[in-house]
């Protein structure tokens, strides 16, 4: 125990000698400490008090206009061997990366307080949880880490008992985009971040630890660290199935995590439980099933698009004790963003609102709030052993080809579904329609090692005695010839989840196709939904010719990770392609 504490104190002293802070504060994670930090930030303008009558305990932070999002091109994964980082990551040799970062950190905390934040990702007592220590000079980071992790004395005690922790060093520096890097050292379990105060770059427990470093930890230790929501679906009999789902951005992850059942389902007694909205750590249990925890304790959500119509549960969650970042404000000092009623008077930069300057709230403006404030928060989120996962779901924004839902025939086929997933861009976003961007398992910006090795790690879970979840792919975004969405989405997605659960329980047969098992006629519950037969047929259509083109493109994509692409995955792609060709030949000869 003493040696662990010595190692931690030695590292803190080394960082202090390099950064030369005016003082050092070891965070205890208490409410008193949080309130002291808030008062300090209100005094120096880091935080602005919002309307305490309408939003008690809520504050606004405005970041530097050049520091409003993750910076992928400045985010590097520094394996000893460049090949281990893979084509999916930017790489720099560790020695060179350390030298570059330490030169930036030299004297950077002069006149500032250095905060030492011991934190635990996941419930303190869970064997699935992992700990870290972030050193930062930003009180805003400390306040957010208090909400997003289990931070303070209990985490420090676990670190002292275990003797293992991820080291994270962060400084806002001068907030100069030319002096900004986020470096990850997987072999050393170390993160160094300089020049940004933005969440994903500065809250090192989040994407940096919980995905980029943890994905390496997970591979070494035999588990999975994934960019997935975790949601519990309780049926009228009181049985709950837990589903983990991975979607790229703008595909409705938080909405699905906090789904509100359609009226008929609510009347029948269906309930939805939110375990997590962003990150999922899964480990095989003694019974062969995968068990999952949400390593986070809060939500760091995108504000724009969160409204009473799109996600009332999220809106209720952030009505108190929330830190807002880069939103607009109304005349009576309430937080505001596009999609809310009312009128902004001040934009996200603190200027009088003028539509000529663009949106009032920054498109990536955020809220940080405790997960416990969500009306559908599940107490199971604190279970030390995690929740058993019945189904894994992959999905993307595809206006054509991909059906509403399909089930993989086995684990290898499911891994192929996850590897092949992606979203098509829109003209509004990129100027080019229909450009498909593959984002395997929604992990492209977050997988901390070579994608070929990552696919192999996924495949390795198919062991004798394993009782793995069924794997599905969904597409809420298929469009008809009129360009309108065929499926209503939102709460009605529960109808699709119900079919998945029926498949898990062996209660429906489904319809076999070369690309997966789809709902057979009558298996999707459509009561109370105005969806005509033609739209349903289109949603579940399998275009043989289109799928042959898709499988060829998937083959090219997998080849881009050669020679590390697993042979089993290439074989699975060829199996599906051959099944499609066989059907086409049969149709042609008929």
d(C-alpha 531, C-alpha 526), whole Å: 8
Please give the distance of CA 535 from its chain centroid, rounded to a whole number: 31
Written as six digits, the tokens of 58 are 């809520």
Model confidence at 434, pLDDT cuts 50, 70, 90, reads: low
Q: Please list, in sequence order, all residues whose beta carbon lies within 8 angstroms of the beta carbon of residue 258, skipping any fewer than 6 positions away.
A: 272, 274, 277, 311, 313, 314, 374, 376
The answer on pLDDT for 429 being more than 60 is no
The answer on pLDDT for 512 being more than 60 is yes
Rounded to 5°, the CA angle 388-215-374 comes to: 50
Q: Please list, in sequence order, all residues whose beta carbon lies within 8 angstroms of the beta carbon of residue 61, skipping any fewer than 6 positions away.
A: 41, 46, 47, 48, 140, 323, 324, 325, 326
- DSSP, res 371: G
The answer on pLDDT for 220 being more than 60 is yes
φ, ψ at 206 (rounded to 5°):
-80, -110
Is 210 marked as a binding-site residue?
A: no
Model confidence at 251, pLDDT cuts 50, 70, 90, reads: confident
The answer on pLDDT for 153 being more than 80 is yes
Which residue is listed with tokens 């050292």?
185
Which residue is listed with tokens 């993989």?
408
Model confidence at 432, pLDDT cuts 50, 70, 90, reads: low
Is 252 marked as a binding-site residue?
A: yes
The model's pLDDT over 440-466, given as tens digits with 9 standing for 90+, comes to 999 999 999 999 999 999 999 999 999
Residue 125, SS3 per DSSP: coil
d(C-alpha 547, C-alpha 549), whole Å: 5
Model confidence at 131, pLDDT cuts 50, 70, 90, reads: very high
pLDDT of residue 252: 87
Q: Residue 355 class from Cβ within 10 Å (0-12 exposed, 13-18 middle, 19+ buried)?
A: exposed
Is 479 marked as a binding-site residue?
A: no
pLDDT of residue 427: 43
Q: pLDDT exceeding 70 applies to what percent of the chain?
A: 97
Active-site residue, from 58, 120, 131, 251:
251
The predicted model gives 372-400 an average pLDDT of: 97
Task: Please answer whether residues 203 and 141 qualify as being in contact, where contact means their C-beta atoms are separated by less than 8 angstroms.
Answer: yes
d(C-alpha 581, C-alpha 563), whole Å: 26
The answer on pLDDT for 2 being more than 60 is no
The model's pLDDT over 52-75, given as tens digits with 9 standing for 90+, comes to 999 999 999 999 999 998 888 999
d(C-alpha 349, C-alpha 78), whole Å: 35
| Alpha-carbon radius of gyration of the chain | 24
Model confidence at 433, pLDDT cuts 50, 70, 90, reads: low
Model confidence at 425, pLDDT cuts 50, 70, 90, reads: low
Task: Please answer whether residues 523 and 505 qualify as being in contact, where contact means their C-beta atoms are separated by less than 8 angstroms.
Answer: no
Q: Please list, in sequence order, all residues whose beta carbon lies within 8 angstroms of the beta carbon of residue 187, skipping any fewer than 6 positions away.
A: 79, 80, 94, 216
> Residue 24: which of 6, 41, 12 has the closest Cα?
12
The predicted model gives 20-49 an average pLDDT of: 98
78 is known as an active-site residue: no
d(C-alpha 509, C-alpha 519), whole Å: 8
The answer on pLDDT for 501 being more than 50 is yes
pLDDT of residue 430: 40
Residue 134: beta bridge partners? Answer: 117, 168
pLDDT of residue 188: 98
Q: Please list, in sequence order, all residues whose beta carbon lies within 8 angstroms of the beta carbon of residue 392, skipping any fewer than 6 positions away.
A: 228, 243, 244, 245, 246, 414, 418, 469, 470, 471, 472
Measured over the CA atoms of residue 250, residue 254, residue 259 and residue 260, the dihedral's sign is negative
- For the chain, what is the mean pLDDT? 95
Is 200 marked as a binding-site residue?
A: yes
The predicted model gives 494-498 an average pLDDT of: 98
Is 380 marked as a binding-site residue?
A: no
Is 366 marked as a binding-site residue?
A: yes
**pTM of the shown model:** 0.97
Alpha-carbon dihedral angle through residues 520, 523, 529, 530, given to the nearest 10 degrees: 30
Is 115 marked as a binding-site residue?
A: no
Rounded to 5°, the CA angle 51-56-59 comes to: 65
The answer on pLDDT for 428 being more than 50 is no
Q: Which domains does the chain have, with CATH numbers?
A: 2-48+64-221 (3.40.449.10), 226-296+380-579 (3.90.228.20), 298-373 (2.170.8.10)
């Amino acid at each position: 125990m003493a040696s662990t504490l010595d190692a931690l104190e030695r590292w803190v002293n080394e960082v202090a000698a390099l950064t030369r802070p005016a003082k050092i504060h070891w965070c205890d994670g208490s409410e008193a400490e949080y309130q002291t930090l808030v008062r300090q930030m209100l005094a120096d303008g880091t935080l602005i008090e919002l309307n305490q009558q309408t939003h008690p305990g809520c504050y606004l932070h405005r970041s530097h206009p050049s520091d409003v999002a993750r910076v992928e091109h400045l985010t590097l994964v520094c394996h000893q061997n460049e090949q281990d980082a893979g084509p999916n990551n930017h790489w720099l040799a560790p020695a060179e990366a350390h030298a570059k970062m330490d030169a930036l950190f030299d004297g950077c905390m002069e006149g500032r307080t250095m905060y030492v934040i011991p934190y635990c990702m996941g419930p303190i007592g869970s064997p699935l949880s992992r700990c870290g220590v972030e050193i930062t000079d930003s009180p805003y980071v400390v306040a957010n880490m208090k909400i997003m992790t289990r931070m303070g004395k209990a985490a420090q005690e676990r670190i002292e008992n275990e003797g293992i922790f991820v080291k994270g060093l962060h400084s806002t520096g001068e907030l100069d985009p030319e002096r900004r890097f986020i470096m990850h050292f997987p072999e050393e379990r170390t993160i160094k971040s300089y020049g940004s105060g933005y969440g994903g770059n500065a809250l090192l427990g989040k994407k940096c630890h919980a995905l980029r470093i943890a994905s390496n930890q997970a591979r070494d230790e035999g588990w999975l660290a994934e960019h997935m929501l975790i949601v519990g679906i309780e049926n009228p009999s009181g049985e709950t199935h837990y589903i983990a789902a991975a979607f790229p951005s703008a595909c409705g992850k938080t909405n699905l995590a906090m789904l509100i059942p359609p009226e008929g389902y609510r009347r029948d007694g269906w309930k939805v439980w939110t375990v997590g909205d962003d990150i999922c750590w899964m480990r095989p249990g003694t019974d062969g099933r995968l068990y999952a925890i949400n390593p986070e304790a809060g939500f760091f959500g995108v504000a724009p698009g969160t409204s009473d119509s799109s996600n009332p549960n999220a809106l209720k969650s952030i009505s108190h004790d929330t830190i807002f970042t880069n939103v607009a404000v109304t005349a009576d000092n309430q937080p505001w963003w596009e999609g809310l009623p009312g009128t902004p008077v001040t934009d996200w930069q603190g200027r009088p609102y003028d539509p000529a300057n663009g949106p009032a709230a920054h498109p990536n403006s955020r809220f940080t709030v405790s997960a416990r404030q969500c009306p559908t928060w599940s107490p199971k989120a604190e279970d030390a052993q995690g929740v058993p996962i019945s189904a894994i779901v992959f999905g993307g924004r595809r206006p054509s080809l991909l059906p509403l839902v399909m089930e993989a025939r086995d684990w290898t086929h499911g891994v192929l579904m996850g590897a092949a997933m992606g979203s098509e861009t829109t003209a509004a976003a990129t100027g080019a329609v229909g450009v498909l961007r593959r984002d395997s398992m929604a992990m492209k910006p977050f997988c901390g090692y070579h994608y070929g090795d990552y696919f192999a790690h996924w495949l390795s879970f198919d062991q004798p005695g394993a009782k793995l979840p069924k794997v599905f792919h969904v597409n809420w975004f298929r469009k008809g010839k009129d360009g309108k969405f065929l499926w209503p989405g939102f709460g009605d997605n529960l109808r699709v989840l119900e079919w998945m659960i029926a498949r898990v329980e062996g209660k429906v047969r489904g319809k076999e196709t070369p690309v997966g098992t789809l709902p057979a006629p009558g298996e999707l519950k459509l009561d109370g939904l105005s969806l005509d037969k033609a739209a349903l047929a289109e949603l579940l259509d399998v275009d043989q010719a289109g799928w042959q083109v898709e499988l060829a493109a998937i083959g090219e994509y997998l080849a881009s990770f050669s020679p590390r692409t697993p042979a089993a995955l290439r074989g699975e792609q060829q199996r599906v392609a051959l099944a499609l060709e066989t059907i086409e030949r049969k149709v042609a000869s008929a």
